[in-house]
């Protein structure tokens, strides 16, 4: 197949009518048609947020990567614009892999990885380089004639000659820098730092960080940004061993708070933390908005699992809600919080308070596209929480707090078709209370615990009749202190 921008646009335009509405999200960005994965080029430019993404428009499966493109004024209502990149050059013939965006000399520049397959084994026979595409209008992009701008000859000794990808470019002190994910070929992921004056000529600065053997064998999708006087590195370690209840997915995401030395390229940090404690969150990327907020968005799926919409629905993949990253001064950890912009899309409110729970109680609220603000107070109950997307016949998504163990669990074993399982995370109560802010969409649940101290994200695929909401307490009593629900106006 000849991969061009024109062919991609025509293919999608002729087939969008095939999409089925079931499971299509109401207020999350998803694939217009075909496949979506990692967010790319997330930036605010000329009055719009731009979000590019890994995109295979021809089938709802991973394929030779294009860059899809959507724009928004408020990070809630998105508009699809033409495909930005197609794998149409010798240096990106195997795919235009992940990258980032920056404004240089008034023009929007994309820096991305060109993937080239060199032999019959596509999992092993390849190499990767970094390339630039430029736009005057933020929609149509031209690749530089001098690509690649960062080639194999600039990979330092001791670093993988194949896995060299996902540049995140930023400006500091009058220079441009880019962080690139890689590994040492011996089971340790690492991040490289390069410097440039013009985005074209790059110099290797140093190795920023390296896995200690417990942080995965390859590091992908790095992002480095400043927050309240500190530097924050986020990245996605592949095949990271689980650590208790953390990092239970095949590939994970983590962040480190520390300090970058731009002269040596080294990044000093004391520890690392998960970004999301649920099932479906990967390859997050950040952007700085006009209000000075650091906004994070991730891919709301998990690698190497079947996705129900791949069969007969003609699409797969979605983005999480954008979240603001806030550095908590008391312990140097990040909080992730929903954006204020979402409140403008609330409709049809419902409230109740002071409900004593003993057993399960179906609430007089229902839906499949809504937001909840909930406070629960522990009492004598061993466990208490909510059941979402229930149907009275056993289908349910369970969000529960184990008071004895201090663990919150997200269980989707009976959430419908698709992957089941449970994710758990330790959460402390505040004066005996658990505060939840929950966003439910057609096929997703995002739970913000205790003001964003932790977040759990998961895709679910319940039946269309599963719209009920129940509260429960088992092994004793608990109190539903307050329950607020709003429908969220559908945008896509």
Q: Which two tokens stand for residue 38?
A: 């990692």
Q: Where are the beta strands (DSSP E) in 239-345?
A: 254-260, 267-269, 273-274, 282-288, 294-299, 315-316, 323-328, 333-338
Distances (CA, A) of 243 to 174, 275, 277: 40, 14, 12
Which are the contacts of 103, defined by CB distance < 8 A and separation ≥ 6?
A: 43, 45, 109
Phi, psi of 41 (to 5 degrees): 55, 35
- Answer yes or no: are the C-beta atoms of 138 and 48 closer than 8 Å: yes
φ, ψ of residue 150 in degrees (nearest 5):
-140, 105
CA distance 178 to 202: 9
- Give the C-alpha separation, 7 to 357, whole Å: 58
Which 8-state DSSP code applies to residue 6? Answer: H
38 labelled catalytic: yes
Select which of 38, 217, 368, 402 is catalytic: 38
> Residue 444 to residues 342, 367, 456: CA-CA distances in angstroms?
16, 13, 11
The number of residues making up the chain comes to: 492
Phi/psi-derived region of residue 9, left when phi > 0, alpha when psi is between -120 and 50, beta in every other case = alpha
- φ/ψ of 343, rounded to 5, equals -65, -25
Q: How far apart, in whole angstroms, are the C-alpha atoms of residue 281 and residue 159?
A: 27
Residue 141 has phi, psi (to 5 degrees) of -120, 140
Question: What sign does the CA torsion over 40, 192, 150, 91 have?
Answer: negative
Which residues lie across from 102 on neighbouring strands?
109
Q: Record the tokens describing residue 367, joined without a space.
A: 């839906």
Query: Biggest alpha carbon distance in the chain?
Result: 70
CA distance 214 to 207: 18
Distance in angstroms (rounded) separating the CA atoms of residues 49 and 47: 7
Q: Quick one: which H or E segment has residue 8?
A: helix 5-15
Helix (H) or strand (E) holding 267: strand 267-269
Give the span between the Cα atoms of 148 and 146, in whole angstroms.
6
Q: How many other C-beta atoms lie within 10 A of the C-beta of residue 175?
A: 14
DSSP 403-433: TTTTEEEEE-TTSSBS---EEEEE---BTTE
Token output for 432: 């005996």
Catalytically active residues are 38
């Amino acid at each position: 197949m000849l991969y061009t921008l024109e062919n991609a646009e025509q293919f999608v335009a002729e087939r969008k009518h095939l999409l089925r509405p079931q499971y299509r999200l109401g207020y999350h960005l998803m694939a217009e048609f075909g496949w979506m994965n990692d967010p790319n080029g997330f930036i605010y430019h000329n009055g719009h947020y731009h979000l590019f993404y890994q995109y295979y428009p021809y089938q709802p499966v991973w394929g030779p990567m294009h860059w899809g493109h959507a724009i928004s004024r408020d990070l809630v209502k998105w508009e699809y614009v033409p495909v930005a990149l197609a794998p149409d050059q010798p240096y990106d013939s195997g795919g235009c892999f992940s990258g980032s965006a920056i404004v240089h000399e008034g023009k929007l520049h994309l820096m991305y990885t060109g993937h080239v397959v060199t032999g019959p084994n596509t999992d092993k026979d390849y190499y990767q380089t970094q390339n630039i595409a430029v736009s005057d209008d933020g929609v149509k992009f031209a690749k530089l004639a001098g690509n690649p701008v960062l080639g194999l000859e600039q990979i330092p000794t001791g670093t993988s000659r194949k896995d060299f990808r996902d540049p995140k470019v930023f400006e500091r002190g009058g220079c441009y820098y880019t962080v690139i994910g890689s590994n040492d070929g011996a089971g340790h992921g690492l991040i490289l730092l390069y410097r440039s004056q013009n985005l074209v000529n790059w110099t290797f600065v140093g190795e920023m960080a390296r896995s200690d053997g417990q942080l995965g064998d390859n590091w992908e999708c790095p992002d480095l940004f400043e927050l309240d006087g500190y530097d924050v590195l986020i990245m996605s370690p592949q095949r990271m061993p689980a650590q208790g209840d953390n990092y239970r997915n095949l590939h994970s995401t983590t962040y480190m708070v520390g300090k970058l030395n731009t002269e040596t390229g080294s990044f000093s940090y004391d520890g690392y933390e998960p970004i999301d404690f649920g099932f479906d969150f990967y390859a997050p990327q950040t952007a700085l908005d006009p209000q000075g907020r650091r906004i994070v968005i991730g891919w709301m799926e998990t690698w190497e699992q079947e996705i129900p919409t791949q069969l007969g629905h003609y699409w797969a993949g979605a983005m999480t809600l954008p979240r603001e990253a806030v550095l908590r001064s008391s312990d140097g950890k990040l909080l992730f919080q929903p954006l204020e912009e979402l409140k403008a899309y609330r409709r049809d409110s419902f409230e109740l308070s002071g409900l004593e729970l003993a057993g399960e109680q179906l609430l007089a609220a229902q839906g499949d596209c809504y937001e909840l603000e909930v406070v629960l107070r522990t009492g004598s109950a061993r466990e208490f929480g909510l059941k979402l997307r229930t149907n009275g016949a056993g289908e349910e998504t369970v969000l529960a707090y184990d008071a004895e163990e201090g663990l919150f669990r997200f269980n989707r074993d009976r959430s419908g078709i698709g992957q089941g399982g449970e994710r758990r995370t330790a959460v402390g109560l505040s004066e005996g209370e658990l505060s939840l802010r929950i966003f439910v969409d057609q096929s997703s649940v995002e739970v913000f615990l205790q003001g964003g101290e932790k977040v759990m994200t998961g895709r679910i695929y319940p039946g269309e009749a599963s719209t009920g909401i129940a509260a429960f307490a088992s092994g004793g009593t608990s109190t539903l202190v307050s329950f607020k629900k709003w429908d969220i106006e559908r945008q896509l």
